[in-house]
Amino acid sequence: MDWVRVKFLTEQKKTNSSVKGRFCELIHQAMIDNKKIIVGKENIECEGARIAFGWQKDFCNFEQKFASNNGVDIGFIDRALKSLQVSNTNIKSIILNAEEADVMLSLVWPEEMMGILKLFFLHTGKILKAELRPFLSVCLQTVIAWRTNYPTVSFGCKDSRLYAGIERDKLVVALPYFMYDKMLKKKIA
């Protein structure tokens, strides 16, 4: 399993303006290159990610596009986004492959996910409960893992599978760093 260290910052860091794309694309790039990437509002080209990070407060265009493309009522997507309170973050910058991490993110095979589920059960005595969403699968799941200190799992939205090259038989998993450190770090090393 390849993991990307994700650090959320409440202060603005200078980004490399030549590195632009969707958050899922930048995660994929960080995973392949194993280099540090500083992400800010100016180099994210995805409306969904800007919403997930609280960098865009107006959901209207996103909601209309999602509702139209998926044949769902716009009220559904509006309620879903508002219930997540995605815009209530104070994120100014994100560092991928930082020295320190808030969240560890990976693309895993179902068999690897079962191993993670088993380790979670052995370390906590609880069964992992996951909320599966039809949108914002990499960006929002990473934020939720950070804000809740609880693992998240996603099948990857259509766009993340396309732009980040997520294989059809892989899942997206985001673990709060302390859980990764406690459950997986020693097993991987």
Q: Would you list the domain boundaries of the chain?
A: 3-188
* Average pLDDT, rounded, for the chain: 88
Q: In the prediction, which pLDDT does 56 show?
A: 86
**Cα separation of 172 and 133, whole Å?**
12
DSSP tally for the chain: helices H, then strands E: 9, 6
Find the Cα–Cα–Cα–Cα dihedral 104, 115, 183, 7, rounded to 10°. 0
**What pLDDT, in 10s, does the model give residues 64-73?**
888 888 888 8
> Is residue 59 very low, low, confident or very high in pLDDT (cuts 50, 70, 90)?
confident
pTM of the model: 0.89
Buried b (16+ CB within 10 A) or exposed e, 50-86: bbbbbbbeebeebbeebbeeeeeeeeebbebbeebeb
Find the Cα–Cα–Cα–Cα dihedral 4, 189, 176, 116, rounded to 10°. 100
Cα 92 to the center of its chain, rounded Å:
16
